[in-house]
């Protein structure tokens, strides 16, 4: 490792907790940066249906370098943010609601309102995974001025060609009978075994499960209900920001033809579709996680086009 790379890897990352409000609802935000949060690009991570934000984006696995994607990007000059959606992690769980995808987009509005007031940031690079990709996409559809570049990982549009959703729909009557569903270690394990069981190390799955279960023993049902019965949630024609779609090679959620049809309709010509080799679901917990970081870093640091065709 050369001296510059060593300096990056050894730089100290600071974490700061914040609390935003969505009416009477308190939302937990987590910020990470090196040296100072000022005058740096802001990266907002949006979690999925079955885990809070810190286990997903700020995971620690002993002996596995850079398990925290927030730390990795912080050391490369970004200010990283994540937020627990209502009903998850450290955010409020008191309302008798399912916490659906639209509610999550509301959470992102409240979170970015808070960050704008606290740090003066008004535009974000945004990454969402699975139902978090749906939340991030709906937020970008509603508030394009707040999203500089959008990344949708393990995304679904209509749900066509998704074996995981096909199986999940069989439990839809059960999901609609309650606001929350129980989770346990076996459930977390199933996330990694349902598509291609060799994509993640067991020690990473165990650390992920420990972090998830330390915060929650149940999860809201709203995103499952939405993804099983209410797709499509977003309109590609109304997502006008530069967009990267990521699809794991073995992902059972994201049907590739469904994604390609969505991709074709995105109006911004600054768009990219990438299939990630050796990845199933939960990209940052896979064996090839550093490859995913590199893809994202290249996208977020890409030179803006110097020429754009007027009216094209």
How do the domains of the chain map onto residue ranges? 3-300
CA neighbor of 47 nearest in space, from 99, 12, 113 = 99
Query: What pLDDT, in 10s, does the model give residues 10-43?
Result: 899 999 999 999 999 999 999 999 999 999 999 9
Backbone angles phi, psi at 10, to 5 degrees: -95, 0
Report whether pLDDT(228) > 70. yes
| pLDDT at position 190 over 60 | yes
∠ CA 259-139-102, nearest 5°, is: 90
| pLDDT score of 291 more than 70 | yes
pLDDT of 3 higher than 60: no
Q: What is the C-alpha to C-alpha distance for residues 176 and 225, in angstroms, rounded to an integer?
A: 7
Q: Could you give the percent of the chain with pLDDT greater than 90? A: 94
User: 120-152, pLDDT tens digit by residue?
Assistant: 999 999 999 999 999 999 999 999 999 999 999
The contacts of residue 6 (CB under 8 Å, 6+ apart) are none
CATH of 3-300, one of 3.40.50.1820, 3.30.300.30, 3.40.50.300, 1.10.10.200: 3.40.50.1820
pLDDT value of position 106: 98
In 119-221 the beta strands, taken as DSSP E runs, fall at 124-129, 147-153, 180-182, 218-220
Residue entry with tokens 């596995």: 64
Q: What is the rounded distance in angstroms from the CA atom of residue 21 to the CA atom of residue 107?
A: 9
pLDDT score at 2? 61
Give 62 or 2, the one with higher predicted confidence.
62
- Kindly indicate the confidence band of residue 311, based on its pLDDT and cuts at 50, 70 and 90: low
Question: Could you report the per-residue pLDDT of 94-130, keeping only the tens digit for each?
Answer: 999 999 999 999 999 999 999 999 999 999 999 999 9
The pLDDT-based confidence of 250 (bands split at 50, 70, 90) is very high
- Determine how many CB atoms are found less than 10 A away from the CB of residue 69: 25
Average confidence score pLDDT of the chain: 96
Separation CA 138–CA 83 (nearest Å)? 16
pLDDT at position 5 is 62
- Inform me whether the pLDDT recorded for 310 exceeds 80: no
| Local confidence band at 4 (pLDDT 50, 70, 90 cut-offs) | low
Instruction: Quote the CA–CA distance of 162 and 253 in Å, as a whole number.
Output: 5
pLDDT for 10: 82
- Specify the pLDDT at position 8: 78
pTM of the model: 0.96
| pLDDT value of residue 188 | 98
Please, are residues 204 and 61 in contact by the beta-carbon 8 Å criterion? yes
Grade residue 197 by pLDDT with cuts at 50, 70 and 90. very high
């Amino acid at each position: 490792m050369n001296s510059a790379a060593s300096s990056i890897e050894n730089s100290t990352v600071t974490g700061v907790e914040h609390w935003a409000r969505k009416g009477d609802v308190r939302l937990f935000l987590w910020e990470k940066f090196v040296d100072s949060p000022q005058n740096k690009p802001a990266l907002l991570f949006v979690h999925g249906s079955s885990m809070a934000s810190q286990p997903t984006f700020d995971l620690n696995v002993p002996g596995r370098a850079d398990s925290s994607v927030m730390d990795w990007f912080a050391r490369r000059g970004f200010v990283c943010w994540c937020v627990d959606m209502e009903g998850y992690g450290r955010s409020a769980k008191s309302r008798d609601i399912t916490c659906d995808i639209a509610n999550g987009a509301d959470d992102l509005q409240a979170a970015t309102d808070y960050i704008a007031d606290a740090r003066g940031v008004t535009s974000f690079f945004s990454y969402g995974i699975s139902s978090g990709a749906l939340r991030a996409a709906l937020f970008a559809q509603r508030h394009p001025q707040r999203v500089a570049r959008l990344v949708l990982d393990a995304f679904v549009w209509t749900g066509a060609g998704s074996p995981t959703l096909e199986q999940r729909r069989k439990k839809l009557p059960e999901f609609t009978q309650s606001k929350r569903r129980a989770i346990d270690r076996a459930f977390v394990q199933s996330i990694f075994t349902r598509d291609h069981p060799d994509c993640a190390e067991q020690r990473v799955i165990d650390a992920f499960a420990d972090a998830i279960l330390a915060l929650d023993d149940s999860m809201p049902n709203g995103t499952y209900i939405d993804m099983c019965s209410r797709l499509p949630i977003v309109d590609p024609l109304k997502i006008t920001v530069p967009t990267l779609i990521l699809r794991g090679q073995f992902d059972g959620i994201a049907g590739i033809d469904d994604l390609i049809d969505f991709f074709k309709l995105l109006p911004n010509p600054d768009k990219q579709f990438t299939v990630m080799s050796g990845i199933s679901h939960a990209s940052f917990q896979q064996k090839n996680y550093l490859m995913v970081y590199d893809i994202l870093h290249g996208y977020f640091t890409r030179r803006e086009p110097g020429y754009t065709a007027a009216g094209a």
